[in-house]
Amino acid sequence: MPVDATPDPYADPIRFGQRLQILRTRKGLTRDALGGLMGRSGSWVKGLETGRLKMPRLEVVLRLAEVLRVQNLADLTGDQAVHVSLFTGPGHPRLADVVTAVNAFTLTTDTEAPPAAHIQARLSRAWAARHSAPNHREVIGALLPDLIRDAQLAVRQADRAGQRRAAHAALSQVYSLSQFFLAYQPEPALLWRVAERGMVAAQESEDPQTIGIAAWLTAQAHRDAGAGHYDAADAVIREALAFLEPLLPDAGDDVLAVAGALRFEAGYTAARRGETGTAWRFWDQADTMAQRLPGAYYHPVTSFSRAIMGAHAVTIAVELHAGGESVRQAAASDATTIPSRPRRARHRIEEARAYQLDGQPDVALATLEQAHAAAPETIAYNGYAKRIVLEEAESRVLARRQRAAGLAVKLGLLAA
């Protein structure tokens, strides 16, 4: 039995309606929400789930499977003889091009790779564009295919040790940018492959900052894979910090920032475990490192800075399910000091979680509207935000329900 105490939809005998209800619930959709996405009503969904209505035509079943992101039609129909691969979308329109670039295996080409320094300059512009654009996935999705191909070529064509290390550093950092694009899209296997390639390339580069960034992202991938991967996340962070800490007395701001970001990640994972003291101890250590950075400094990949520590405090409190403390930290933090639009939107989502925990749903919705204004593509891919919106779309308070429904339409959760 899964931890959510719902039946396994793959175990027979379970009829179509029961499978539909289980899969809908696991996706966090209400009957009205699913009905809206299908151009139908919530009562139509209820009829299917309760068996009052028969299983619909194949084209309707296929549409249901697409909306629910069911990869195998048998998961919904229960017919083990039917194994149809379905679209798991909605993926970003640029996803297919990025997938093709990552999967490419070109060994014979006359194309000359650009210098690693040229790739690094393009990477810097890509990160700057990501932080300033509300449609940041669109921006980096357009840049990634060429960056991936050129960085891979640079590694293959490097013929001197120093040149090869620089090329590996550039390739690892391109994979890091790719992870930001692929996160929360229907390509989890590709995300892991990119994370692993990034870590291997980082080690080949021997560059402390590149190694730290790859470890930071790999730890996040482990943590977000579930509680069974928390130990793996901690192990990656311990190894990375053991490598970086001897370098810190003479390190520049970028390496110091990455070490601080790793310390916060350790605190984040501790908060997921419910370890209050450990979580705040790591936050304190990260904050101490942040205070060593210039006031205007902002790390382009990890966002680590003085400005981000207030946002990190909100995240720790929310993950510890401390509603009052979450709101206190949200009031103490200042999102306007965060220069990155997507990171500012993410902070607003964390604030909304805090207000929801504290029983202030109207403030939570207003904060999510601020997140949408900052970066629509951030909130559109965030499960926490969607959960709040869908929950409040069923509120008994008419004004709140209407406000949530309006936001749900913007996020594509309900039909206009």
The structure tokens 């130990």 sit at 231
Residue pLDDT tens, the chain, 416 long: 333 444 444 443 567 887 888 788 877 888 998 988 888 899 999 999 888 998 888 778 888 987 887 767 777 887 644 433 332 335 789 999 999 999 998 777 788 999 999 999 999 999 999 999 999 999 999 999 999 999 999 999 999 999 999 999 999 999 999 999 998 887 888 999 999 999 999 999 999 999 999 999 999 999 988 889 999 999 999 999 999 999 999 999 999 999 999 999 999 999 999 999 999 999 999 999 999 999 999 999 999 999 999 999 999 999 999 989 999 999 999 888 999 999 999 999 999 999 999 999 999 999 999 999 999 999 988 888 888 887 888 788 999 989 998 998 888 766 55
With residues binned 3-state (H G I as helix, E B as strand, rest as coil), the percentages for the chain, rounded to 5, are 70, 0, 30
370, containing H or E segment: helix 361-374
All domains of the chain in start order, with CATH: 1-89 (1.10.260.40), 93-206 (no CATH)
Q: Comparing C-alpha atoms, which of 82, 160, 78 is closest to residue 116?
A: 160
How far is it, in rounded angstroms, from Cα 316 to Cα 229? 19
Amino acid found at 20? L
CB 314, CB 351: distance < 8 Å: yes
CB 61, CB 55: distance < 8 Å: yes
Return all residues near 153 (Cβ < 8 A) that are at least 6 apart.
Answer: 106, 109, 111, 112, 113
Exposure on the CB side of residue 58, measured as CA atoms within 13 A:
6
Exposure on the CB side of residue 181, measured as CA atoms within 13 A:
31
CB 91, CB 71: distance < 8 Å: no
Return all residues near 379 (Cβ < 8 A) that are at least 6 apart.
Answer: 345, 349, 368, 371, 372, 385, 411
The token duo for 126 is: 């890509």
CB 268, CB 316: distance < 8 Å: yes
How far is it, in rounded angstroms, from Cα 293 to Cα 257? 8
How far is it, in rounded angstroms, from Cα 318 to Cα 302? 20
Please give the DSSP secondary-structure letter assigned to residue 111.
P
- Output the CA torsion sign for 369, 375, 377, 381: negative
Q: What is the pTM of this model?
A: 0.79
Q: What are phi and psi of 303, to 5 degrees?
A: 65, 10
Please give the DSSP secondary-structure letter assigned to residue 320.
T
